[in-house]
Structure 1
Amino acid sequence: MTVLEWVYAATFAMLGVGVLFALHRLVRGPSVLDRIVCLNAVSVLVVSAIAVGSALRGGAAYVGLMVTVALLGFVGTLTAARFAERRAHDRG
């Protein structure tokens, strides 16, 4: 195993741990806004994992997938934040 393969393996491991921590906070989050931030963090980590996998394979075939996941994460975060804001405004 070359040094670069070790770096890719370590990067995937760290991204996996980050996703686990974010999912843990998503489940235990004390507020809706914490959960929204965690969903955004998970989408960023997924895009990062796709980018590392694309670099490992040496191609740019997954750029469209990365852009799609990033845009879905962004739009989902905006929608959830807007919903949380309206919900907080309606409560008083």
Structure 2
Amino acid sequence: MSTVLLIAIFVVFVVAALLTLWRIIVGPSILDRAVASDVLLTEVLCVLGAEMAINQHTRTLPVLLVIAAVGVFGSISIARFVARKDTVER
């Protein structure tokens, strides 16, 4: 694969990760941080998937599945927490 293409992919993922980390830090709400953390997990999945495609292997497939499960369960937990907090405040 072309070195220029690999560098371009790397730069795009790094910029996206930095912007996502900025949103996690700045917020302003817990839902903004939750969405940003989901985006960051998705970026990690994409990087691992791109690495698998470039090197033509499937060794990291179990890691992809675990990260995806953590993302789903984390989103559900945060949604339940926010919903419970919203009903308590009313």
State the AA in 1 paired with 2:35: V
Quote the offset at 1:12 in angstroms.
Answer: 2.0
Q: Name 1:82's counterpart in structure 2.
A: 80
Q: Name 2:31's counterpart in structure 1.
A: 33
Stretches of structure 1 lacking an aligned partner (at least 5 in a row): none
Deviations 1:19-44 (A, max 9, x none): 11011001101111101101110110
- The TM-score, its normalising length taken from structure 1, stands at 0.89
Judge conservation of contact 1:8–1:52 (CA < 8 Å) in 2: no
Stretches of structure 2 lacking an aligned partner (at least 5 in a row): none
CA RMSD of aligned residues (A): 1.2
Moved over 4 A (4+): none
Q: Name 2:66's counterpart in structure 1.
A: 68
Q: Partners in 1 of 2:84 and 2:61 — Cα distance? A: 35
Deviations 1:39-79 (A, max 9, x none): 11011001001111111211111111111111111111111
> Per the alignment, in what secondary structure is the counterpart of residue 59 of structure 2?
coil
State the structure with bigger RCO (CA 8 A, min sep 6), 1 or 2: 1
Q: How many residues align?
A: 90
- The TM-score, its normalising length taken from structure 2, stands at 0.91
